[in-house]
C-alpha cells in the first residue's frame, strides 16, 4: 500500500512539474504573452540583388531596341534619353553615350509647346552631363538657354495668385488653355540642377520661389500641400486639368532636388511623406500585391519620381525598390499571365502606356503599346531602376 501511495504521489508531482514547465516555457522568437497583432509584411525580393539587377538591365536593353526605332526628338524622346542615361550609369556602355552625342543629339531636341516638354529635355541633357563625367558642357549651356527662354517668355508666373510654371505664358494668344500642374513645375527641378552645375544664383532663387513663394504670393507648398504626403489641387483629366497627376508623385522629384541643393530638411520630409503615402496600398493608389498604378498612365515618370525620393532617404523608404521590382515584373509577365490587356508584347518587347492589367486608366494615349510615348516611359522606368539596383549592389560591397 505504502509503495502504491508513494508511486501515486510521485506521478502527481511529475504532472505538476510538467504543468509548471508548460505554462512558463520560453516564448518563441518574436512572440508575446498577448494575442499577436497581424502586421502587413514588407514585400520580399523575388531573387538575389545581382540577379534582379542583371534581369532589369537585360530587359531595359530589350525595350530600348524598339524605343530607338520609334524615337523622336521631342519630349517622348527625352523620357527615353533619361532612362538611357541611367542605364549608362549602371553599365558604362559607351554605345549609349555615342547614341546621344552622335545619332540622337540632345542639342537637336525640340522645346515643344508646353513648358514641361522642355523640362524633360533639360533634365535629359543634365542627367547625361552628370553621368558622363561633366565633360559635355554644351549640354549644360543648352539647358540654360532653354530654361531662360521660357522664363523670359513669362511662363514663370503668379497670375493665379501663387508662383508656378505654366505651359504657356499668361499673355500668350491662341486657342489653347494656359494651365499648370506638377509637370510644369519640373522646371523647378531643372533650376536646381542648373544651380548645381553653374552656381548661378538666379536658378537657386527661382527654385525656392516656386516652392516657398515670396512676401506677396505663396508657392506651391503653402498653396497645395496638406501635410502627411497629401497634395490637393484642381481635379480633372490627367494632363488637361488635374493639377497633381500621379497623386502628387512629381513633387517627390522637386522636393528631392531642393533638398540636394539646399540641404534643408523640410524638402526631404515632404518628399518622403509623399512617396510613403502614394506607395502604401491602403491609400488606394497602387495595387496591394504588385504595386502598379491602378488609375493612371505615365509610369516611367511615376517610377522615376518615387525613386527620386528613395535616393535621398533609402533608410526610410527601404521598401520602395522591392515594390518597384514587383511592379516591373508584373508588367513584363503580363500580370503573371492573367492580364486582360497587353502590358508587354513579347514579339518586339513593346510596352503598354498604362499598367493596369484590366485597362481603363486615365491618361494620354493610355492604351498604346510600343509607341514612342509608351516605349519611352518603359525605358525610363526600367533604366532608372537598373541604376538604383546598381547603386545598391555597389553599396553592399563597402
Domain residue ranges of the chain, discontinuous segments joined by +: 44-397
CA distances 395 to 145, 300, 314, 364, 388, Å, are 37, 25, 11, 38, 10
CA distance 90 to 84: 10
CA atoms within a 13 Å half-sphere pointing along the CA-CB vector of 177: 6
CA distance 344 to 340: 12
Q: What is the DSSP string of 318-348?
A: TTHHHHHHHHHHHHHTHHHHT-SS-SEETTT
Would you say residue 44 has pLDDT above 70?
Answer: no
**Number of CB atoms found within 10 A of residue 309's CB:** 30
Are 354 and 361 in contact by the 8 Å Cβ rule? The answer is: yes
Give the DSSP letter of residue 234: -
Instruction: Give the pLDDT confidence of 48-102 residue by residue, as tens digits.
Output: 999 999 999 999 999 999 999 999 999 999 999 999 999 999 999 999 999 999 9
- Alpha helix (H) residue ranges in the chain: 2-23, 49-70, 75-91, 94-98, 115-131, 137-152, 186-198, 201-212, 220-224, 250-262, 265-279, 299-312, 320-332, 334-337, 372-397
Cell of 67: 524605343
Q: What is the DSSP string of 167-225?
A: SS-TT--SSS-----TTTTHHHHHHHHHHHHH--HHHHHHHHHHHHB-SSSB-HHHHHE
Would you say residue 14 has pLDDT above 50?
Answer: no
- How large is the average pLDDT for residues 340-360? 98
CA distance 107 to 260: 26
Instruction: Give the pLDDT confidence of 127-164 residue by residue, as tens digits.
Output: 999 999 998 999 999 999 999 999 999 999 999 999 99
Instruction: Give the pLDDT confidence of 224-247 residue by residue, as tens digits.
Output: 999 999 999 999 887 778 899 999
Fold of 44-397: Glycosyltransferase (1.50.10)
Which among 173, 174, 190, 175 has a CA at the least distance from the CA of 115? 190
**Number of CB atoms found within 10 A of residue 91's CB:** 17
- pLDDT (0 to 100) of residue 46: 65
CA distances 57 to 178, 259, 299, 340, Å, are 40, 29, 18, 27
- pLDDT (0 to 100) of residue 43: 63
Would you say residue 310 has pLDDT above 90?
Answer: yes
Higher pLDDT, 389 or 11: 389
CA distances 221 to 19, 231, 302, Å, are 63, 9, 20
Amino acid at each position: 500500500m505504502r509503495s502504491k501511495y508513494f508511486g501515486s504521489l510521485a506521478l502527481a508531482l511529475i504532472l505538476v512539474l510538467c504543468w509548471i514547465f508548460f505554462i512558463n516555457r520560453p516564448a518563441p522568437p518574436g512572440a508575446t504573452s498577448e494575442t499577436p497583432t497581424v502586421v502587413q509584411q514588407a514585400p520580399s525580393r523575388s531573387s538575389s540583388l545581382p540577379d534582379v539587377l542583371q534581369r532589369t538591365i537585360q530587359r531595359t536593353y530589350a525595350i530600348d531596341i524598339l524605343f530607338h526605332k520609334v524615337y523622336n526628338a521631342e519630349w517622348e524622346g527625352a523620357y527615353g534619353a533619361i532612362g538611357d542615361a541611367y542605364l549608362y550609369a549602371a553599365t558604362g556602355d559607351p554605345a549609349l553615350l555615342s547614341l546621344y552625342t552622335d545619332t540622337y543629339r540632345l542639342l537637336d531636341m525640340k522645346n515643344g509647346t508646353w513648358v514641361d516638354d522642355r523640362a524633360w529635355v533639360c533634365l535629359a541633357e543634365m542627367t547625361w552631363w552628370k553621368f558622363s563625367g561633366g565633360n559635355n558642357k554644351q549640354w549644360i549651356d543648352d539647358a540654360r538657354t532653354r530654361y531662360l527662354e521660357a522664363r523670359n517668355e513669362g511662363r514663370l508666373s503668379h497670375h493665379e495668385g501663387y508662383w508656378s510654371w505654366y505651359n504657356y505664358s499668361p499673355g500668350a494668344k491662341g486657342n489653347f488653355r494656359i494651365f499648370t500642374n506638377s509637370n510644369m513645375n519640373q522646371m523647378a527641378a531643372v533650376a536646381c540642377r542648373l544651380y548645381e552645375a553653374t552656381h548661378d544664383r538666379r536658378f537657386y532663387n527661382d527654385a525656392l520661389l516656386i516652392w516657398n513663394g515670396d512676401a506677396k504670393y505663396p508657392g506651391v507648398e503653402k498653396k497645395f500641400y496638406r501635410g502627411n504626403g497629401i497634395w490637393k489641387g484642381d481635379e480633372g483629366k490627367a494632363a488637361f486639368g488635374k493639377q497633381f497627376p500621379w497623386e502628387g508623385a512629381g513633387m517627390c522629384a522637386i522636393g528631392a532636388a531642393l533638398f540636394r541643393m539646399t540641404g534643408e530638411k523640410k524638402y526631404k520630409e515632404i518628399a518622403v511623406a509623399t512617396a510613403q503615402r502614394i506607395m502604401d496600398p491602403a491609400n488606394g493608389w497602387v495595387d496591394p500585391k504588385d504595386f502598379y498604378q491602378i488609375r493612371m498612365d505615365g509610369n516611367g515618370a511615376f517610377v522615376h519620381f518615387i525613386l527620386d525620393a528613395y535616393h535621398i532617404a533609402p533608410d526610410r523608404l527601404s521598401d520602395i525598390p522591392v515594390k518597384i521590382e514587383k511592379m516591373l515584373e508584373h508588367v513584363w509577365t503580363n500580370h503573371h499571365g492573367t492580364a486582360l490587356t497587353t502590358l508587354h508584347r513579347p514579339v518586339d518587347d513593346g510596352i503598354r502606356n498604362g499598367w493596369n492589367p484590366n485597362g481603363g486608366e486615365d491618361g494620354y494615349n493610355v492604351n498604346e503599346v510600343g509607341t514612342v510615348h509608351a516605349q519611352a516611359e518603359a525605358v525610363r522606368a526600367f533604366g532608372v531602376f537598373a541604376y538604383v539596383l546598381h547603386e545598391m549592389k555597389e553599396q553592399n560591397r563597402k
